[in-house]
Amino acid sequence: MNATLTSPVKSSPTQFDSILNTVGNTPLVHLKQLSALTGIDVYGKLEMANPGGSIKDRTSLSIIEEGIKNGDITPSTTLIESSSGNMAIGLAQVCRYYNIPLIIVVDPKANKHTLKILNAYGVKVDIVEKPNDDGGYLGARLDRVQELVDTLDNAVWTNQYGNRANPKAHYVTMSEIASSLPDADYVFSATSTCGTLMGCASYIEEKNLSTKLIAVDAQGSVIFGNKPKERFIPGHGAGLPSQFLDKSSIYDVMHISDMECVTGCKKLLETESILAGGSSGAVTTAFLKRVPELPKNSKCVLILCDRGERYLETIYNEEWVAKKLK
């Protein structure tokens, strides 16, 4: 167990100093069946290949190591975060490595599989029972986070919603995409905190790339000014505006329903044998809906954020889909 908060030594491509060194450098896979089906060259950035199973591993590692570097996080710190699932697991993994206590604030929509993973990592879980009138469950979770920070000694909110280390992590994500596919025409990225979206936008702008960034938001999300409504797919969209979003950096935005997330997940599984989470289904559906407008010979990248195993009781469960979404 690492008790001194020292970062692991950088490793060779085939031998790693620690589990944390395996975060990032995820595969970019040619989605051959979808490419043949649509006539558009499309690739998937497999963020489920991160050790904690999602793109939030990048965010978690970036935030914690930045906090250690600047002295905000010490061996006596307790970290607190609000999360619908993946960020919680990413933080749990990094905190277990550094032996940092972690409290995760969740709501009743958190899936059981995620809660079991957090329990295995020794994370304390705090559940809010009711949504706020103006911010939904996210607003209620953030209120509880602030309450805990105010009452616990040496507690620090990692703040994935406003910590600049979040988009900083995804500047690297986009650099990996550009390195593997320098002539990518479109990148489809799901929204939540908009850290991934804006980190990618920052790299595209700095390097003066022609790549167009398409945001894939949820129907019922308020990120782009739409009215809120109940949503059932965790980690896609948000009940509060993003602190990172710069709309001028986005080529376009598409809004995808929960049911379209499900159909997108099934399409990805049927065509490419990729069992992915809800936001991956959203970007797959968004791509398929966009195909008629895309120029021939376009090259597209879908950022596939997480694994599907955490959704076996929901997205991949016909009874749940029929009850909640139909």
Tell me the per-residue pLDDT of 35-62, one tens digit each, with 9 for 90 and over. Answer: 999 999 999 999 999 999 999 999 999 9
pLDDT of residue 134: 75
**Structural domains present in the chain:** 19-50+164-321 (3.40.50.1100), 56-157 (3.40.50.1100)
Per-residue pLDDT for 2 more than 70?
no
pLDDT band at 15 (very low <50, low <70, confident <90, very high): confident
In angstroms, the CA 99 to CA 294 distance is: 48
**Is residue 10 pLDDT above 70, yes or no?**
no
SS (H, E, C) 146-206: HHHHHHCCCEEECCCCCCCHHHHHHHHHHHHHHHHCCCCCEEEEECCCCHHHHHHHHHHHH
Q: Which amino acid is at 170?
A: H
Instruction: Dump pLDDT digits (tens) for 114-166.
Output: 999 999 999 999 999 998 877 788 889 999 999 999 999 999 999 999 999 99
pLDDT on residue 14: 73
pLDDT at 92: 98
What is residue 215's three-state secondary structure? strand
- Rg of the chain over all Cα atoms, to the nearest angstrom: 19
Q: What's the average model confidence in pLDDT over 102-121?
A: 92
* pLDDT value at residue 13: 64
Span 232-264, pLDDT tens digits: 998 899 988 999 999 999 999 999 999 999 999
Q: Residue 23: which residues within 8 A CB-CB, separation 6 or more?
A: 50, 51, 52, 57, 58, 61
The token pair at 32 is 């051959």
Residues with Cβ within 8 Å of 66's Cβ and at least 6 positions away in sequence, in order, are 163, 165, 168
**What is this structure's pTM?**
0.94
Tokens standing for 247?
């709309």
Per residue, what are the HEC states of 76-130?
A: CCEEEEECCCHHHHHHHHHHHHHCCCEEEEECCCCCHHHHHHHHHCCCEEEECCC
